[in-house]
Amino acid sequence: STQSTGHHSCKMSSEFSFVFVPADVSMPLVEWTQEQPEGQEVECLTQRLQAHFRETTTTSAASKAALLTQLQSQLPAGTAVTDEMMEAVSAMQLVESLPLQSGRKVNGYVHVNLYCDDSGTAKGLPKNARASAISEQAGIPRSVNGDAFIGRLVDDGQDEFKRMDFKLSEVSADADWMQAARAHNLQKDADGQIDQMKQLAGPGAQVITPGSGGNSTEGVVMDEEVPEDHGSLTWTQDADEIEVRVLCPPTTKTKDISCKITAKMISLSIGTLDTPEVLGGKLYTQVDADDTNWSIENCGGDRLVRITMAKGQTGQSWDTLMQE
């Protein structure tokens, strides 16, 4: 038998389908379609979801209080939050993209994402039990609030970006993409018996299981350490990959990020930071430049940029992230 990688080989077209997952459990899941004009591959879906969230959600008193607190934390001490500022921020409607299946070289850079209201929690939206269960089934437990959508796209991080069909029939624990996503996502959470050892290890440090050599990463599990300050980073590794995490201000969007990776070099700049250049120079050793990707996600009240790079030599332990 052959093992599925979760790669979806459907033919790309100017129209694609995606799935609506209502927060109201009395409503059925529905397959929607959307035109994909050339040159508008990104915004064609984002704008439709923004319109949906604007039309179907209201801002409660609790939401306004949470928004006021958030604004005050981002402004210089003593700065007054005006009604105009509150109205401007309230009018903004952001769509949060939560990865279910990450696009990698092995699956043709096909991503499956869960989309929801970026301010769902602050707005006091109800928990979406079905969307939360779908995410957990994919190996990423998280609580989703408000209506949600599931879509598929191809994004190699360079030149190719195209939205593809995601069918209602694929919302199933038996679907090929779900099984592949779950296997990959749970791999990073495996070997729970060495969690205590992981806590003692610093960023990039090895966690060696009995029988493995000191210069090997066999048995190493990536930690989940998150940077504490804006612009600071942590990095970790397992046998196959290097992962870099950078904490950013909550206003950071995809357009603010420039990330370029070759076999031996990396450059990363984030426009919302006081010092935009975060990384620049030679990596510790070679990576597979064709199997690298980055994403941005919510992290508490901030944003987190996550970069994943496949090691050029599987199993090799990196002593540092960059050459001095």
SS3 call for 228: coil
Residues near 56 by beta carbon (within 8 Å), at least 6 away in sequence: 147
Tokens of 280: 């620049």
How high is the pLDDT of residue 86?
A: 65
Report how far residue 315's alpha carbon sits from residue 219's, in angstroms, rounded to the nearest whole number. Answer: 10
SS3 call for 31: strand
Confidence label for 56 from pLDDT (cuts 50, 70 and 90): confident
How high is the pLDDT of residue 159?
A: 79
Tokens of 235: 């990095």
How high is the pLDDT of residue 75?
A: 76
Q: Distances from the Cα of 278 to the Cαs of 65, 228, 251, 301, 304, in angstroms?
A: 34, 15, 17, 21, 13
Pick from 95-109, 112-126, 177-191: least confident? 177-191
Amino acid symbol at 116: C
Report how far residue 104's alpha carbon sits from residue 94's, in angstroms, rounded to the nearest whole number. Answer: 26
pLDDT tens per residue, range 277-298:
999 999 999 999 888 989 888 8
pLDDT tens per residue, range 217-239:
554 555 567 788 899 999 998 88
Report how far residue 51's alpha carbon sits from residue 22's, in angstroms, rounded to the nearest whole number. Answer: 15
Tokens of 34: 């959307």
Number of neighbouring beta carbons within 10 Å of residue 196: 9
Q: In this model, does residue 41 exceed pLDDT 50?
A: yes
Confidence label for 4 from pLDDT (cuts 50, 70 and 90): very low
Report how far residue 254's alpha carbon sits from residue 230's, in angstroms, rounded to the nearest whole number. Answer: 16
Amino acid symbol at 162: K
Report how far residue 171's alpha carbon sits from residue 120's, in angstroms, rounded to the nearest whole number. Answer: 22
